[in-house]
Each structure stands twice: as C-alpha cells, then as structure tokens.
Amino acid sequence: MLHLMSILLLLWKLKKSKSCVGISCRMQECYAIVFCLRYLDLFYQFISVYNTAMKVVFISSTFYLIFLMRFQPPVSATYDRTADSFPYEQYLLGPAAVLGFISAEEWSIPEIFWTASIWLESVSILPQLILLQQLREVENLTAEFVATMGAYRFFYILNWIYRYFAEGYVNWIGWLGGIVQTGLYVDFFYYYAMSKWYGQKLVLPLAT
C-alpha cells in the first residue's frame, strides 16, 4: 500500500503542478523493467484477483508515468533529460542481470528474471536521489513521494524480520537487496526528518 501510495502521490503531483521538475523518469524506467521482469507469472499463473490487480496496476501506472513525463504536454515540456542523466543502462542493468543469473535459486527463466528484478530494484532509486542532489531544493510533494518509497522498503524489512522469527522464513537475496535499497535512503531520510522537525522546506547539502 505504501508503494501504491507513492505512485498515487507522484501522479497527483504531475497532474496538479503540470510539471515533472525534480522527478526522475529514469527511475520510473528502472521500475518498469523491474515489474516486467518480476511479474512474468501474470501470463501463466493465477494466485488471486488482488495479486493480479496489484501487478497490473504497478505495471500500467509506471508506464503511464513515463508517458506523462516523456510525451504528454504540458508535463513533458518540463522534463530535463540533461539533468536526469544517470546511465542506468550502463551501471545498473548489466550487474543486475549477472547477479540474477549467478544468485538465482534455480536456473529457470522466471527465477533468473525474478532475482534480477530484486537486485535492480535495490538500486533503482539512484537516478532519483542523484537528480535531487543536483537540484538540492526539493518540492514538498516530491519529498513525500521519495519518503513514501523509502518507507515501503523499510516495512518490507520489518515483514522479513517478523517472518523469520514466526515462520523461519529465509530469503537472502531479498534481504540483501532490501538492505541495500534502504541504506541508499538513509541520507535522504536524515535531511527529510530535519526539514519536518524544523518545519522547513527540504534542502539537500552540496554533493562532495
């Protein structure tokens, strides 16, 4: 629900402000790849109406966000491809594919793709964080969107801790990916919490 809320916040921001300044379309492209790799079972396995509906919502809403930012005026007119330039094709896709292949529990296409999606999701926030670091001053709705994304991942970790003690559940790949992803948010969350504490707009420090 937190992940869904982050998407709805972003859609609201784009529709309300007619601007995607401060939002990384490249991060959305990473998530579109993540969802396509992870939800291949839509074509051959039915779990429940809820499960299927959520998968379809995540895929379709992510592609819709990309469409808005890339092609739909007036939002697309505000998209700065020069600023949103993190080369995820070079630095993220290859390593995720390799890790997905060597760390999959079994060498089947669905399992390799699922594992690769875990590794890719763990670093998909990087284009967004780097873009915000360049801009420094973060709009309120953008800050709430990123914070909700981080909270969604943090609750995943709490769920894993609970399941480990309650069920003996172990998922090393998911755990490592979740820890990496949550760790990337730590710096942002510190400044986000400070901005909320002092009632100020979120301003990130200069990159060093």
Given a cut of 80, whether residue 169 has pLDDT beyond it is: no
Domain boundaries, the chain: 2-200
Given a cut of 90, whether residue 195 has pLDDT beyond it is: no
Output the 3-class SS for 133-196.
HHHCEECHHHHHHHHHHHHHHHHHHHHHHHHHHHHCCCCHHHHHHHHHHHHHHHHHHHHHHHHH
Higher pLDDT, 169 or 195: 195
pTM: 0.89
pLDDT in tens, 61-97: 999 999 999 999 999 999 999 999 999 999 999 999 9
pLDDT in tens, 96-134: 999 999 998 888 999 999 999 999 999 999 999 999 988
Residue 145, pLDDT score: 84
Residue 194, pLDDT score: 87
Average pLDDT of the chain to the nearest whole number? 89
111, 102 Cβ separation under 8 angstroms? no
Rounded mean pLDDT, 16-22: 92
Residue 207, pLDDT score: 60
- The beta-carbon contacts of 39-42 under 8 Å, at least 24 apart in sequence, are 40/109, 40/110, 40/113, 40/114, 41/110
Residue 164, pLDDT score: 84
- The beta-carbon contacts of 5-11 under 8 Å, at least 24 apart in sequence, are 5/148, 5/152, 6/145, 6/148, 6/149, 6/152, 7/58, 7/61, 7/62, 7/65, 9/141, 9/144, 9/145, 9/148, 10/65, 10/145, 11/61, 11/64, 11/65
Residue 157, pLDDT score: 80
Residue 200, pLDDT score: 81
